[in-house]
Amino acid sequence: MAARESGPGESLDAAPAPQADSYPALDVPLKSALARATHGISPAAVSAAMLDWWSHLLASPGKQVALAESAVQKTLRWGLFVQQAALGDCSPCVTPAPHDKRFARPQWQQWPYREWSQAFLLWEQWWHEAGTGVRGVTHHHEEVASYVLRQAVDISSPSNYVTSNPEVLQETLASGGQNLLRGAANWWRDAMAVATDGRPKDAEQFAPGRAVATTPGKVVFRNRLIELIQYAPAHRQVHPEPVLVVPSWIMKYYILDLSPHNSMVKYLVERGHTVFMMSWRNPGAEQRDLAMEDYVQLGVFAALAAVRRILPRAPVHAMGYCLGGTLLAIAAAALARDGRSPLKTVSLLAAQIDFEDPGELGLFIDESQIAFLDDVMAERGYLDGRQMAGAFALINSKDLVWSKLVREYLMGAQTPLTDLRAWNADATRMPARMHGEYLRRLYLHNDLAEGRFPVGEHPVAVRDIAQPMYVVATERDHVSPWRSVYKMHLLTDGALRFVLTSGGHNVGIVNPPSGPGASAQATFRAADRRAHAGYRDPEAWFDSTTPQRGSWWTDWADWLAARSGRKVHAPAFGGTGARRLEPLDDAPGRYVHES
């Protein structure tokens, strides 16, 4: 019996998706043009924050005096440093932040570049002081103003210019200027890719189903929002409980099934698990009215129902990554509320549930920003993932913007395209209605953590989830800060294992234990919290938890195995009997190819 499309879920009691004809005729084209120029960031929101900061600074003579004194002190410190440096070696008057590698090379320790870099770092410190601690500025506006000032200061870094960067000058002299010619060619290539919405050079080498997303499997279910992939077993005997993976809807699922050497799916299959993967459709204008409720009903609930048809008596290990983890927590709470949960365990990877402190991503989320995006989405019915990718790049601009400028446009290097970078460029879209709902209800109002997020006719509570939980955060996560992810300790009373791994939002998760993709520097911290145990704050947890070398994957695999039954014969694709789901396509399916 072939899989059929499930019906739409109950729509949330929310305003319908914005329509272009419901706005004054000039609004939508203007705001769409602004969005392309600003990577979707609202100029009004930024202007309001800067005006709040500037007006309060003008009305704070005490702060002005403190800044003047700081400027004099820093100038004197720099002058003393220059004097001592002229007489011989001396200690720097200011050191960069641990993650700032712009001036780490030996060339920066020579005159006059040493003096320039020290002046810049003192200048950077002063502007940070100017942007923070101004009485009367709202917390959100202070964060935005400090961020904008930091971006403006970064533009003036001596590392960004040919004449003040000794590494670039050395390469220019050695190559006779060929690096600058190659850099100009690199810039033109990237400019044309942006202008034509093209993908990076050589991205075709990482096409899903050929170089990435190659773990064998079958699509066993499809509806208008998801495909469900069942992967072929690696062994005759498997654990009876399947693993259902819920990826984020803002990314293609195959980040969890990249190349064979770093595929989490392949790793789980080889460890004796039957793995099911949800693959989200890349929505277009016709899906503009899909709501968050549809992503629960047509997404997680539909996938669970299909898995239960294939393995009707087996409880499910459910795992969600990023916003897929947030959606899984919503679904798990709704199932617990209704007393019909088929879940055995719940694993959340780099997934926020409490959005009160979303980190620097929260800089771009307030009512002004969301209203701006509503207007932008009204034209086409969706938000282009490239706009979101641009905002993410600006959050981590030192690594993703300025270092690229130096490496590729000044040094003339070409960064090799990797499977992870190719995946990152494979952008997805978000339906207008769903995207507005998720920004307002999760980020702006924190409805999920505070018990107001509705599924069906009633809200859900995360504390109702009784299954053992495995929660992973990453140390350098700009999307889901680890202390925010740690708040799961406050939201549930059940047994919980919390893991903090090295790396960022993607690299920290895609962290195989061996092979070419393994990191020799990878570490993780892990500790169990018993059900109904007392609370430890994140700093106390960090200080008392010993780091372990290696990948957290092995720890998670052991945790899953300890909560799985004795192995049984591997199930057939789509199951058996009258309720069997007829396989539709080979993995990776159709939806992953939509662009």
- In a 13 Å sphere around the CA of 416, the CA atoms on its Cβ side amount to 2
Candidates 237, 233, 249; CA nearest to 298 is: 249
Pairing of strands 548-549, 275-280: unpaired
Candidates 221, 228, 232; CA nearest to 571 is: 232
One-letter-per-residue 3-state SS of 511-574: CCCCCCCCCCCCEEEEEEECCCCCCCCHHHHHHHCCCEECCHHHHHHHHHHHCCCCCEECCCCC
| One-letter identity of residue 136 | G
> Does residue 322 carry a catalytic annotation?
yes
CB of 253 closer than 8 Å to CB of 217: no
Q: Which residues pair with 498 in a beta bridge?
A: 471, 527
Strand blocks (E) in 368-494? 382-384, 429-431, 454-455, 458-459, 469-474
Identify the residue whose tokens are 């003393």.
80
- In a 13 Å sphere around the CA of 15, the CA atoms on its Cβ side amount to 11
Candidates 243, 187, 176, 241; CA nearest to 215 is: 243
Task: Give CA–CA dist 376/383, Å, rounded.
Answer: 8
**Rounded (10°) angle between helices 178-195 and 166-175:** 110
Give the active site residue among 28, 168, 219, 322.
322
Which tokens go with 31?
Answer: 């705001």
Candidates 241, 238, 240, 242; CA nearest to 229 is: 242
Task: Give CA–CA dist 508/503, Å, rounded.
Answer: 4
Q: What is the enclosing helix (H) or strand (E) of 238?
A: strand 237-238
CB of 238 closer than 8 Å to CB of 268: no
Q: Where are the alpha helices (DSSP H) in 8-163?
A: 27-38, 43-58, 61-87, 113-131, 139-155
Our separate counts of H helices and E strands in the chain read 21, 17
* Enzyme catalytic residues: 322
